[in-house]
A = this chain, B = another copy of it.
């Protein structure tokens, strides 16, 4: 089996999910390559060393440019904050490396476009970590839609609800909190949470034509964890929009970090002519399905426990009834990437697909600012 030497940039929450996926994929999936944890790179050398020891990275580096340029590395995996994605990804592409990048691809469409141009010019394999496509229940939803079981789609609904920033004592910026710093993150929940909802939505239901959005920053100023100063908050705490898809279906989307009681409640619902689907991240191992073709008196919403060998990815895991969790979606994504790369194919979601999501989030933010219906940029 061919080795694929990984250079990981960043060691935060996402650095862990990626590393775990690289380490596990060959235990469970028959794929043509084997990721090798070659180097982890971060500015803080001490913590990078600890991370390398914990996860089995052979080398530690503090300058990402050295990793990008190293001839011993095949794949650059970007798990650092959003403001670093473009520079690293473009350099990696120029160096001829495969590139994987955490979502969102750039902080906005313009940044993402530059990244896409770079990887497409270089012709290197690339993928954005929109991991929720690889929740087996969501992949099954995609199969059902592609098989035509839902018929014409009328409605799409998605929410991503969290509650971790309600306290006004929470500082913004700095280690573990860069998602609250608009300069680093690009936006608030729009890029962080809605981007997930939009990626899945376009995968399942096609492109979005136009949006009418509203955003809000509930806590207007917070202490910055690095400067210690109370500064205005630049991010959107909540972002809601109406949308019309190209196929004529109507949608509501909403993301917030002020929904008390919900930790990471990503929900999606699709209503078609013949059947409907519901799924949520708090019970990710279940798909709710309603089929109007069922016999009348027995119609109802079915809770499908997605743990059978017939379900996407599940024959690689345990036995029926035994659920997998969040981290497995990253393993699936690596497995699909390795299979694609081994076969010379592109693995979705490509950077170009990541750009399409950023075009929608751009339209959302523009609509909220202009208080008007806004067309999504078409390319």
Contact = CB atoms under 8 A, between A and B. Distances in A.
Contacts of A303: 300-303
A317 B326 CA distance: 10
Nearest to A327: B318
Interface of A: 13, 16-17, 19-20, 23-24, 26-27, 54-56, 140, 154-155, 157, 159, 161-164, 166, 212-214, 216, 218, 238, 240-242, 244, 250, 252, 254, 256, 258-265, 271-276, 281-285, 287, 289-292, 294, 296-305, 307-308, 310-311, 317-328, 371-373
B271 A321 contact: no
A24 to B, nearest CB: 8
B321 A323 contact: no
Nearest to A17: B318
A242 B240 contact: yes
Nearest to A283: B283
A326 B320 contact: no
B319 A13 contact: yes
A322 B31 CA distance: 27
Main secondary structure of the interface of A (DSSP, over half): mixed
Given A155-B238, A263-B307, A300-B303, A273 B325 contact: no
A301 to B, nearest CB: 5
B292 A261 contact: yes
A322 B264 contact: yes
A242 to B, nearest CB: 5
A288 to B, nearest CB: 9
A214 B216 contact: no
Contacts of A254: 155, 157, 252
Contacts of A27: 19-20, 23, 54-56
Max chain B C-beta neighbours (<10 A), residue from A294, A300, A371, A372: A300
A230 B66 CA distance: 67
B263 A305 contact: yes
A303 B56 CA distance: 37
Contacts of A291: 298
B302 A264 contact: no
Given A297-B310, A302-B300, A263 B55 contact: no
Closest 3 CB pairs of A and B: A264-B321, A263-B321, A261-B290
A358 B13 CA distance: 43
A256 B319 contact: no
B296 A310 contact: yes
Contacts of A155: 238, 254, 256, 258-259
A272 B298 CA distance: 17
B276 A260 contact: yes
5 contacts: A242-B242, A256-B271, A281-B321, A323-B326, A324-B326
Contacts of A296: 308, 310
Contacts of A244: 214
Contacts of A307: 263
Contacts of A302: 294, 298-303
